Chains A and B, each alone.
Chain A
């Protein structure tokens, strides 16, 4: 455990050692603001809730989370420090988990900085704060899923751009799996089971359940297993890359 926290602290400090962290946080807050108030018609809807805010999160994360994830391993591969890190007396899974947690905590910090939106909606009306807490939880879990995908691709290559592009494409597939246009491709010819399997893989359908305030165990298990499976893949990829 202590080894994991050493890695987490080093990685988190790594985000803040360069302007990356500040750029990310500013862009994240700007985009959430634009999406919520401009595209999401926060005020015009006249509803005291944060649906307009949360609904855009999958699309926001599609680009921002791979940007956070891409450096996790690629940077080490490029500098050759993978060899240093993986010959320290810590198990490889500690490095995988530590790096993931650092990225997740960082996204968590960015998410916490959106709290003024929550305060605003409380000032304007009386929203169901339980639903909003669920929304934040769902958003954080979904970000974890995106991040685990990004970390895995980062482990594959020393090129951050390649890691970024592959992660965005994969995350995109996991978003659109639940969109009607994609599902329509399957309905009609594919068995019902396949259609529902594809739909159940979607980040969005699981996320929307939570955002509406319904914390279904299946949704939680879905995100948890996404994170675990992609991190296992991450560990395997890093191991294979050593030769």
Chain B
């Protein structure tokens, strides 16, 4: 997948607002076919970075190339191959859906027969057929978001920048939008910013976490999950009567860092066995189970959760700044 040519190339990108560095030296390359999830706490610099990629803000330093076009030197060509859903999906409330999409197609110089085809296609893709003649201001949040998506993809851009595309949608709508993003991913580079971590697992082939304007993690969602303290942790549920003091036994296994115990109401105990540096301990735990002859109700390995990684990497903020 990474062998395809890069559609987005960012080198040494920085943006200063007065003395404050909102984005501080970002390097990033996104090839076609990749859906990149851009994660970070609020104020980490996600939106500022996206605004620079789309040419809305001029960088303080660094360069951005979109499908070979330098955003600073050839802004119009770069924007022509780029679709953008700004944060909050701003739209013209007085225009009808059809009028608005027609305007976007016109500005993007999609003319004649092709305009009709493209408009029909996106209206069908995002499901706007029922509201074409309605002023955008009267639409529900879900419909507005879909109109925002439609304007971003009407010209079949090779690069798609979506700032929180599912923010404020209900679970069904979120599912629809994610399906759409996955379907569009094939030969495009798509960057979505989000703070919903399940979304990253659902649609992204790669996740980048930024904090204080810098990239602090970059990998597939699975690679990032491996950095969680809970990666390869084992969950074991056994009857309390049989394994009253299993905590000590589990702790003595090789590679085990610590063990937590939850007493369940029905006479069972649930142990979470956390390994040192994510080494695999499932074999050792099941060996112990066999040796003691416990009747196991649950035994499974945790893949690690993105939120844990996210918190571990970006959670320094409160404690760090108080110090």
Contact = CB atoms under 8 A, between A and B. Distances in A.
> Looking at A13, A87, A88, A90, which has the most chain B CB atoms within 10 Å of its CB?
A87
B154 to A, nearest CB: 11
Interface residues of B, number: 30
Contacts of B87: 80
A3 B105 CA distance: 11
Contacts of B51: 83
B43 to A, nearest CB: 15
Interface in A80-100: 80-81, 83-84, 86-91
Contacts of A243: 17, 57
A243 B51 CA distance: 11
Interface of A is mostly: helix
A181 interface: no
Contact of B107 (A13, A80, A83, A90): A90
B259 interface: no
A18 interface: yes
Contacts, number: 65
B104 A83 contact: no
B103 A10 contact: yes
B230 interface: no
B55 A84 contact: no
Contacts of A2: 109
A127 interface: no
Given A2-B109, A91-B76, A242-B57, A83 B103 contact: no
B276 interface: no
A110 to B, nearest CB: 20
Given A3-B107, A88-B79, A243-B17, A79 B92 contact: yes
B62 interface: no
A88 B151 CA distance: 10
B90 A83 contact: yes
Contact of B99 (A13, A90, A242): A13
Given A84-B86, A242-B57, A79 B79 contact: no
Given A10-B103, A243-B57, A80 B88 contact: yes
A83 B51 CA distance: 8
A14 interface: yes
A83 B86 contact: yes
Contacts of A80: 86-88, 90
Interface pairs A-B: 10 shortest CB-CB: A80-B90, A89-B79, A17-B94, A83-B86, A89-B80, A87-B54, A81-B90, A6-B106, A89-B76, A6-B107
